[in-house]
Amino acid sequence: MENLIQLVNRLQRACTALGDHGEESALPTLWDALPSIAVVGGQSSGKSSVLESIVGKDFLPRGSGIVTRRPLVLQLHRLEQGSREYAEFGHLPRKKFTDFAAVRKEIADETDRETGRSKQISSVPIYLSIYSPNVVNLTLIDLPGLTKVAVEGQSDSIVADIENMVRAYIEKCVYIYENNNAVLSSLWANMPNCIILAVSPANQDLATSDAIKISREVDPKGERTFGVLTKIDLMDKGTDAVDMLEGRAYKLQFPWIGVVNRSQADINKNVDMIAARRREKEYFSSTPEYRHLASRMGSEHLGKVMSKHLEAVIKSRIPGLQSLINKTIIDLESELSRLGKPIATDAGGKLYMVMEVCRTFDGIFKEHLDGVRPGGDKIYNVFDNQLPAALKRLQFDKQLSMDNVRKLITEADGYQPHLIAPEQGYRRLIESSLISIKGPAEAAVDAVHAILKDLVHKSISETAELKQYPSLRVEVNGAAVESLERMRDESKKATLQLVEMECSYLTVDFFRKLPQDIEKGGNPTHSIFDRYNDSYLRRIGSNVLSYVNMVCASLRNSIPKSVVYCQVREAKRSLLDHFFTDLGKKEGRQLGTLLDEDPAIMQRRLSLAKRLDLYRAAQSEIDSVAWSK
């Protein structure tokens, strides 16, 4: 079976190459889903020496203060005996380092490239792979050492910044879908995904250990924390670390492991790691207090234990990791589909894209009018409620008051009195009353125009493709509103003509019945001497009101027909016709300005495509590995 740690190594390198560092972002992160081991400890706890002991090489920068200022993802690959040792950096993939002093320098230089020559920190990791016959397959993340005080050249927030970075790594969780009858359920299992290697010096009280303090906060039961004791050989005479190593001082789920690192004098004398490991073994086997623990002490044992445990954790996470990757691929593909395709490069392709987007918008607009989407019903409300209410509010009684009737009748007679019925007076009274209907008629046209305009805006917001192209969105909106205004003007003209038609030609049959009605009522024809009698004028006003009400009833039916014909029907048929005509005259460059995509959407699509490549690569990597359940 291919080593699962190597699988995770490849996935981590893919994450780095494609910009997934596990930081907070608007994109799903694969990095946080990968099991890892984070090495945590305070400054001067011996953390770097532990790592060098596991590797068997001097390769980490040394100095006072904060030396590790970026996370170092250390990937160890075991080679066959006799193979030559070398190192590779993720940012220098084709360069092999055989001189580990050069490795140390490159770590320092790459740190400075990201943070400058200041003493600030960065959460962007450095990737280092070491290939050697003297290592176990293992991946460790060396984090900046925890500190309590900022030194000169560091910001006041450095203490909190380092703690927050360390906490972000060791709190790392992966959300795994539960598989139920081959169907991914909506339930999530929140699984801590980082193994903590907590390094504490034995010559200090564990109660003050920075590593123990922070690991206890995120892993209070010690279920994923491995304790490492350094500087056991530097403890005061008469004291030992047995209580700590046997878990009585602070209990963890896993046994504590003690190590003896090289002293500064050993480093100055260039004592190599092979000799240092031999002396470490001799120390534990020859010291009476630790002799019974010697088989599970030392940096070599630590490396083997961590390698075995990491592989077991990876193996247990593989099924959930596959589910997570498959689900994320579906989500990424879905969002990419919503964002639409990249812009075409040729004029024909651009014209086709613009036409397709416009057709989509036009289809949504028609769905609103036809009742598939909400909004079209508001037009019916104008005809069924607003127009009748407006007609009812017309104050014909004021227009047909006794004084006004007398005034218009008298003026219409001129110097000669009417013989039988004051026809001109009737006409003037009717015309002056009917003219007031123009107000509700125009209001109905404007109300429908406002609704259609609102539906255009709604349809634009519901056309996902128009969100992709802000310039085209503005043009389509402008063209649609311009068409609606043109249709409104035509509708207003046609609707007002209906009112003017009623004013220009009266329905004679209505008035022909009036003398008969009078006779049936037993009222004699008025003489010229009582033509201004109140009863007579009241009769005229009543007749005119009856006629006006009849016309109102007729217009109540005909105005909606005119409005629908001139506005609604035309909007459905030809909302963007003028725009399409102008579109055919545009050149490729002009079409390109219409498809000037929102930079945020363009960047989002690029980021999603890049992240999708990562997840597909991860899917292929996992599918290619034969692992046993």
pLDDT in tens, 221-274: 888 999 999 999 989 888 999 999 999 999 899 999 999 988 777 777 888 888
Same structural domain, 177 and 44? yes
In a domain, 606, yes or no: no
Regarding pTM above 0.85, the answer is no
Same structural domain, 393 and 534? yes
Same structural domain, 321 and 413? no
Instruction: Indicate the pLDDT class of residue 507, thresholds 50, 70 and 90.
Output: confident
For the chain, what's the residue count? 629
- Report the domain count for the chain: 2
In a domain, 264, yes or no: no
Same structural domain, 12 and 131? yes
User: Which alpha helices (H) appear in 171-235, and where do they start and end?
Assistant: 210-218
Same structural domain, 329 and 366? no
Same structural domain, 472 and 618? no
Name the 3-class secondary structure at 482.
helix
Q: Residue 302: which of 251, 249, 258, 243 has the closest Cα?
A: 258
**What's the pLDDT at 470?**
83
In a domain, 237, yes or no: no
Q: Which two tokens stand for residue 163?
A: 């703690």
Same structural domain, 377 and 514? yes
In a domain, 543, yes or no: yes
pLDDT in tens, 548-595: 888 888 899 999 999 999 999 999 999 999 998 888 777 766 777 777
CA 459 remoteness from chain centre = 22
Same structural domain, 15 and 51? yes
Same structural domain, 301 and 322? yes
Question: Cα separation of 436 and 293, whole Å?
Answer: 107
In a domain, 472, yes or no: yes
- In one-letter notation, the amino acid at residue 349 is G
Q: Is the pLDDT of residue 528 over 50?
A: no
User: Which alpha helices (H) appear in 188-233, and where do they start and end?
Assistant: 210-218
Q: Residue 149: which of 47, 64, 46, 39 has the closest Cα?
A: 64
**What's the pLDDT at 172?**
67
Same structural domain, 317 and 413? no
In a domain, 276, yes or no: no
Q: Residue 470: which of 603, 359, 597 has the closest Cα?
A: 597
Question: Cα separation of 409 and 532, whole Å?
Answer: 9
Task: Return the number of other C-beta atoms located less than 10 Å from residue 47's C-beta.
Answer: 30
Tell me the β-bridge partners of 226: 197
Q: What is the dihedral of CA 423, 429, 434, 435, to 10 degrees?
A: 120
In a domain, 267, yes or no: no
Q: What single string gives the DSSP state of each residue in 564-576?
A: IIIIIHHHHHHTT
Mean pLDDT over 134-158 rounds to 82
Same structural domain, 421 and 451? yes
Q: Residue 405: which of 533, 512, 308 has the closest Cα?
A: 533
Q: Among the listed ranges 7-21, 272-286, 409-423, which one has the minimum average pLDDT value? A: 409-423
Question: Cα separation of 436 and 411, whole Å?
Answer: 21
In a domain, 408, yes or no: yes
CATH number of the domain bearing residue 548:
1.20.120.1240
Pairing of strands 86-89, 92-97: antiparallel
pLDDT in tens, 177-205: 444 333 333 323 345 678 999 999 998 88
Name the 3-class secondary structure at 464.
helix
Q: Which two tokens stand for residue 184?
A: 């991914």
CATH number of the domain bearing residue 154:
3.40.50.300
Same structural domain, 434 and 322? no
What range does the domain containing 584 cover? 347-596
Residue 81 or residue 584, greater confidence: 81
